[in-house]
Structures are given as C-alpha cells and as structure tokens.
Amino acid sequence: MSTPSPKLLFATTNKGKLRELRQLVGDSVEVVSLADLPPVPEPEEDGDTFEANAVKKAVEYARATGLPALADDSGLCVDALDGQPGVLSARYAPGDDKARYEKLLSELSGVPDEKRTASFRCALALAWPDGRTHVEEGRCEGRIGYAPKGEHGFGYDPVFILLDSGRSLAELTAEEKSAISHRGAAFRKMKPKLLSLAARP
Ligand SMILES: O=P(O)(O)OP(=O)(O)OP(=O)(O)OC[C@H]1O[C@@H](n2cnc3c(O)ncnc32)[C@H](O)[C@@H]1O
Ligand SMILES: [Mg+2]
C-alpha cells in the first residue's frame, strides 16, 4: 500500500503566482490551492518587509487550514523611487495590473535609462500548522522600460526589462522566467524543505 502524498497549501490569491508555483513544484508534493478549500479570511499585509508579510500569510493560512502553507510576498523595488512600490506593489494604484504599471511608467517619465534600474524581490515562507516557519528570498535585476511589451507573465512583467537581453519578463515563456526570476530563485532554495514535508511529524 502506498503512503498518501503530503498536502501543501499554495497560500496565495494571485493567479499568476499560483501558476508559477504549480509549475515549479511539479508533482513532487501534492498541492491544494485556496480555491479548493472553504473560504479563509485574507491576512492583513501590514509588515515593513517582504519576509514579514510572507511569514504572516503562511502562518495564518496554515493555522486556519491545518495544512503546511507556502506563501509568497513579492514586489518591485525601483531605485529612482527610493525602492517604491516595494511591499506596497499590489496596492500601488487601484484597479488592475495594467493600471499599476501605467502609474509606474508615468512616475518615471523623463527618467533616463541609467536611472531606471529596479529589482523584483520575493520572500517565500513555509509554515507548519504548529507555527514553525522557514523563509527563503530571491531577487531579479532589471530596469523599467518606456512602454509595456510581451503577453506572458503577470503584474509588472510587461515593463520589467532584463539587463542582458533587453527583453521584458512578459516576453519570456513560463520556464524561461522561472529560470531567472526572484520567485524561481527563492523556490530553488526552498525546494529541499518542501521535499522534506513528508518526513515532518
Ligand atoms: O498576497 P497574495 O494573496 O499572494 O497576492 P498579491 O497579488 O496580493 O501578492 P503580493 O501581496 O505579494 O503583491 C505582489 C505584487 O507584486 C507584483 N509581482 C510580484 N511578483 C511578480 C512577478 O513575478 N511579475 C510581475 N509582478 C509581480 C504583483 O503583481 C503584485 O502587484
Ligand atoms: Mg497580497
């Protein structure tokens, strides 16, 4: 008789993140998403750092569901804006992703190429239902373009330009993005912990 696979909750309301995490985890761990479970109140993201918010989300979702939970807090830090929108990336402008990247482009109008540098940051937190946590971080360097390009990805991807190729993150396939992204980097550090879930009490 085979042992049932461990269940991991992808504790995010963001469809783009969910898609990328699903692809990264593959079939190494049995996963469920928030949509598969009875509604859980959304944690308030009031931390000053990506790490604090990721831990808070993971801990609250793990306690509420009784499942190990993987939460992601991420965002875009733009040097010419002193690191903004940063942890407030999801709330930078009301409306959709397009409204937010358009606000960013307009804030940067007149800013020359060399001052448009930015980085995507991601903190991934894994929390067990008993409150234990583990966090890993990743980042991806680039600069903000002048107009959106590309149809893949989500969020600010169409305006985030990679330094080496000049392509936007939205011009990459999911596999290409994960190989270099902040989320991919954090995930690869987290992977051993996820695989060890089965051995947890
Ligand atoms: O909190 P959860 O439920 O996970 O979903 P969220 O969308 O609110 O997620 P965050 O609070 O972490 O906010 C992240 C913001 O940064 C943006 N972002 C994060 N990773 C990104 C990526 O890989 N590409 C483009 N934008 C990204 C995303 O669009 C959000 O506006
Ligand atoms: Mg959020």
Give ligand 1 pocket residues (Cβ under 6 A). 12-14, 17, 45, 72-75, 89-90, 97, 120, 153-157, 181, 183
Among protein residues, the one with the nearest Cα to ligand 1's atom 31 is: 90
Q: How many domains are contained in the chain? A: 1
Residues in Cβ contact with 26 at an 8 Å cutoff, skipping those fewer than 6 apart: none
| Predicted ipTM beyond 0.90 | yes
**What's 81's DSSP letter?**
G
Q: What is the band of 28 on the pLDDT scale with cuts at 50, 70, 90? A: confident
User: Which parts are annotated binding residues for Mg(2+)?
Assistant: 44, 73
Residues in Cβ contact with 199 at an 8 Å cutoff, skipping those fewer than 6 apart: none
Q: What is the rounded distance in angstroms from the CA atom of residue 129 to the CA atom of residue 201?
A: 11
Q: What are residue 31's DSSP bridge partners?
A: 8
Report residue 143: phi and psi, to 5°: -145, 160
Report residue 112: phi and psi, to 5°: -75, 160
pLDDT at 3 over 70: no
Among protein residues, the one with the nearest Cα to ligand 1's atom 16 is: 75
Q: pLDDT tens-digit profile of 97-114?
A: 999 999 999 999 999 999
- Residue 32: inside a domain: yes
- Residue 31: inside a domain: yes
CATH number, position 67: 3.90.950.10
- The closest-lying atom of ligand 1 relative to the alpha carbon of residue 73 is 12
The one-letter amino acid at 10: F
Q: What is the band of 10 on the pLDDT scale with cuts at 50, 70, 90? A: very high
- Residue 119: inside a domain: yes
Among 63, 84, 198, residue whose Cα is nearest residue 144: 84
Among protein residues, the one with the nearest Cα to ligand 1's atom 12 is: 73
- Minimum-distance ligand to the CA of 54? 1
- Residue 156: inside a domain: yes
Cis peptide before 39 (omega within 30 of 0): no
Q: What is the band of 199 on the pLDDT scale with cuts at 50, 70, 90? A: low
- Residue 51: inside a domain: yes
Judge whether 73 counts as a catalytic residue: yes
Inter-residue contact 44 to 115 (CB < 8 Å):
no
Q: What are residue 139's DSSP bridge partners?
A: 121
Q: What is the rounded distance in angstroms from the CA atom of residue 135 to the CA atom of residue 124?
A: 6
By residue range, what is the domain housing residue 118? 7-199
Output the pLDDT for position 201: 45
In terms of Cβ atoms closer than 10 Å to its own Cβ (0-12, 13-18, 19+), residue 131 is exposed
Output the pLDDT for position 71: 98
> Reduced to 3 states, what is the DSSP secondary structure of residue 143?
strand
